[in-house]
Amino acid sequence: MQPRTDLPVALVDAPFTWGSAKASGISPNRLRRADVAHVSRELYRPAGWSFELEAAARALSEASPEAWISHVTAARIRRQILPAWLADSNELHLSKPHALPEVRRRGVLGHSVLAFEDEIEFVDGIRISSRSRTWLDMARRLSECELVCMGDELIRVPRAEFEDRTTPFDTLEGLRRLVARHPNLQGVVRARAALDRMRVGADSAPESLLRLAMEDAGLPEPQLQVSLRENDAVGPSADLGYRQRRLAIQYDGEHHLHEAQIFSDRRRNKAFVAAGWSVLVFGKEDLADGFNEAIRKIKRTLRKSRQDHPQASGFADAV
């Protein structure tokens, strides 16, 4: 009877390449046993392995040295904003330069594209498209509003007290240069349209979607991160609003349900009310409604504000 040979520890928990197996002293015959499954050319996995996107992408990247992980796979690994219908996607996307043969691997969606050196990065053992290039690649698949949400995340200024970075992932100017490099890329027209609607200051996709819904309803474009007192970076602020009309608009997501955050939100809203502002707070029910009822409330509040502040009659006359 042939003695049983266990796989090395490095190969038992994730997919691996033939090169990794060979370097670990594994013979071709050993890879034919029942505890190893052949995925595609030079790519294997433990037979009992439960799919995990990042591990699969890492092995695929290693097996395809001149290609890179891209599109929705890259977005998921980078935890970029995606619409709900793609947030749990397990698609594996691999891009290659036009000069190389097409990607032909079972279970892998291949792309032959033009990409510049600074659009590809090497992160945690994975050759992967940059966040900005991933945004551009997704333009062929996302709606304009979904693309705006993804782009707003790239250009937002991080909050040093909550994040481990101090500069945005990119700027509007940087994204415009990226788009200009690829005038013939599928989806580039939608990317240009999204750029015109992206704004610095949205802290979440729902905030972006609320702003876009307001614009689509004919409302004036709101200010973002509106401080109670002008030029006060540490005082209370609203997600969106109209300083001239003293209207503060908040979108409270799920993290606002924590007790400490609820107390903080109440204190914030009371500060605006005490200063003579109206405060409207929206949540996930409004998001599910497409912000239709929210728009009606905003319009009613602005009409009332126009009556109370006739000196600002040149503002929001279309409301």
Residue 309, pLDDT score: 61
Residue 257, pLDDT score: 53
Under 8 Å between Cβ of 191 and 136: yes
Please write the tens of the pLDDT for every residue from 77-88: 999 999 999 999
Q: How confident is the model at residue 32 (pLDDT cuts 50, 70, 90)?
A: confident
Which listed CATH number (3.40.710.10, 3.40.960.10, 1.25.40.10, 3.90.79.10) goes with 201-319? 3.40.960.10
Residue 1, pLDDT score: 36
SS3 annotation, the chain: CCCCCCCCHHHCCCCEEHHHHHHCCCCCCHHHCCCEEEEECCEEEECCCCCCHHHHHHHHHHHCCCCEECHHHHHHHCCCCCCCCCCCCCCCEEEEECCCCCCCCCCCEEEEECCCHHHEEEECCEEEECHHHHHHHHHHCCCHHHHHHHHHHHHCCCCCCCCCCCCCCCCHHHHHHHHHHCCCCCCHHHHHHHHHHCCCCCCCHHHHHHHHHHHHCCCCCCEEEEECCCCCCCCCEEEEEEHHHCEEEEECCHHHHCHHHHHHHHHHHHHHHHCCCEEEEECHHHHHCCCHHHHHHHHHHHHHHHHHCHHHCCCCCCC
Domains of the chain by residue range: 1-50, 53-200, 201-319
Residue 311, pLDDT score: 58
Please write the tens of the pLDDT for every residue from 251-283: 987 654 556 667 788 999 999 999 999 999 999
Question: Most confidently modeled of 50-54, 99-103, 185-189?
Answer: 185-189
Can you give the pTM of this predicted structure? Answer: 0.84
Q: Is pLDDT above 60 for 118?
A: yes
